[in-house]
């Protein structure tokens, strides 16, 4: 029997699956941090630090006891996390590394063909030499291999060793051992990943089953296209075939969109009714999300569930921006209620708030503004600045 799922229930289940229903002040610790990342699947990495780097803010928005040094330990000392690609550069539990081996093999030919079109023949001339250099001499920064005659620029102007490093990383031959001032330090994958993660193999059938099953677990409900897109490990056709082959474990559901329009057919596990009963209500606290938060990565899903249209305008010319360079979504309870433009000025010791936009029908009530100011104060402390400064006309 098909279940019709109310929009409010769908939001609650998805928020719970993405770690946003647990109490944000509970003590996390390093084991709890590893479990959190395992449960949500991955944490996207991005270099922009307008307020805080994406991976730190994603984790902080879920738990305010999060400590950066715990993440560093898990990545650089314990080997329980690794960096590679989902749909973008991400931090991933090392327990998932055997499944990424299939992605590495798939990526190999695709990257070579794509980069050959962009960079021309001969772009791969230094691949073997770069790998041998790391094998013989140990971990290396890209700048240490940079050929003196090449100038830095966009990625298409990468010097040969930089191109080699990215290829070797994207195909699993090397891994990121650590970062220095956010610059990647590369080493052989077998010297970075613990042996039990690096050497373990899974066959193709197990790989596809895990990729689809684990994606649906973390989404709560999904179309086969959403299942495929979650990790970006399998194709939509593979996800569709998996759904068909596991029909006895799944049940069809209809998810009501936020605007009350036509419900969207989706798939869920057979115990979905239990999720409806047990998924907790999210905290009423107002929270600032990273633009790269996994809750909003799938923009179409975000619009259907939350009626929230969000685009990153970093690469939009300033006169054409609707909001701002790097604007942060605001989550209150189970609703995305607006966005805020702000920047951490660490020299001045300030978190500068430039502008607030609330969604239609969301009032700037005294209680809501108090919750926002409390959250901004918490975020300021996390980023290491002393106060929040509100510019004239910010709301």
User: How confident is the model over 372-389, as pLDDT tens digits?
Assistant: 999 999 999 999 999 999
User: Beta 350-358 vs 387-390: how paired, if at all?
Assistant: parallel
- Beta-carbon count within 10 A of 243 CB: 19
Whole-prediction pTM = 0.93
Which pLDDT value is given to residue 120? 65
User: How confident is the model over 170-190, as pLDDT tens digits?
Assistant: 999 999 999 999 999 999 999
Which pLDDT value is given to residue 148? 35
> How sure is the predictor about 161, in pLDDT bands with cuts at 50, 70 and 90?
confident
Q: Enumerate residues 6+ apart whose C-beta is below 8 A from 202.
A: 98, 99, 101, 102, 210
Lowest-pLDDT range, 229-233, 294-298, 317-321?
Answer: 317-321
**Helix, strand, or coil (residue 144):** helix
Average pLDDT over residues 198-217: 97
Quickly list DSSP for 173-234: SEEEEEEETTEEEEEEHHHHS-HHHHS----HHHHHHHHHHHHHHHHSSB-HHHHHHHHT-S
């Amino acid at each position: 029997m098909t279940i019709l799922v109310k929009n409010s229930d769908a939001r609650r289940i998805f928020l719970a699956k993405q770690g946003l229903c647990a109490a944000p002040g509970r003590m996390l610790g390093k084991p709890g941090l590893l479990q959190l990342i395992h449960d949500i699947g991955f944490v996207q990495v991005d270099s922009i630090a307008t307020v805080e780097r994406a991976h730190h803010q994603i984790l902080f928005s879920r738990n305010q006891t999060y400590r950066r040094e715990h993440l560093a330990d898990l990545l650089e000392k314990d080997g329980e996390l690794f960096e590679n690609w989902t749909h973008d550069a991400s931090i991933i539990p090392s327990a998932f590394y055997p499944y990424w081996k299939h992605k590495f093999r798939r990526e190999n030919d695709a990257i070579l063909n794509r980069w050959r079109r962009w960079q021309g023949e001969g772009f791969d001339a230094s691949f073997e030499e770069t790998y041998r250099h790391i094998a013989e001499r140990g971990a290396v920064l890209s700048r240490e291999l940079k050929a003196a005659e090449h100038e830095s620029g966009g990625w298409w102007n990468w010097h040969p060793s930089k191109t080699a490093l990215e290829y070797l990383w994207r195909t699993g031959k090397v891994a990121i051992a650590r970062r220095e001032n956010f610059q990647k330090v590369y080493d052989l994958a077998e010297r970075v990943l613990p042996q039990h993660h690096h050497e373990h193999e899974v066959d193709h059938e197990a790989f596809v089953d895990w990729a689809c099953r684990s994606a649906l677990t973390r989404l709560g409900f999904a179309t086969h296209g959403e299942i495929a897109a979650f990790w970006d490990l399998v194709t939509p056709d593979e996800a569709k075939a998996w759904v068909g082959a596991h029909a006895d474990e799944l049940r069809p559901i209809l998810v009501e969109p936020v605007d009350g329009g036509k419900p969207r057919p989706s798939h869920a596990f057979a115990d979905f009714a239990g999720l409806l009963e047990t998924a907790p209500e999210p905290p009423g606290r107002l929270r600032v999300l990273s633009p790269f938060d996994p809750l909003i990565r799938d923009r179409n899903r975000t619009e259907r569930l939350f009626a929230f249209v969000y685009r990153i305008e970093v690469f939009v010319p300033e006169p054409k921006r609707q909001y701002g360079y790097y604007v942060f979504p605001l989550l209150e309870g189970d609703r995305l209620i607006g966005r805020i433009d702000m920047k951490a000025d660490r020299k001045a010791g300030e978190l500068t708030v430039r502008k607030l936009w609330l969604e239609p029908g969301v009032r700037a009530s005294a209680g809501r503004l108090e919750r926002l100011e409390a959250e901004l104060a918490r975020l300021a402390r996390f980023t290491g600045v002393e106060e929040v400064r509100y510019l004239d006309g910010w709301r």
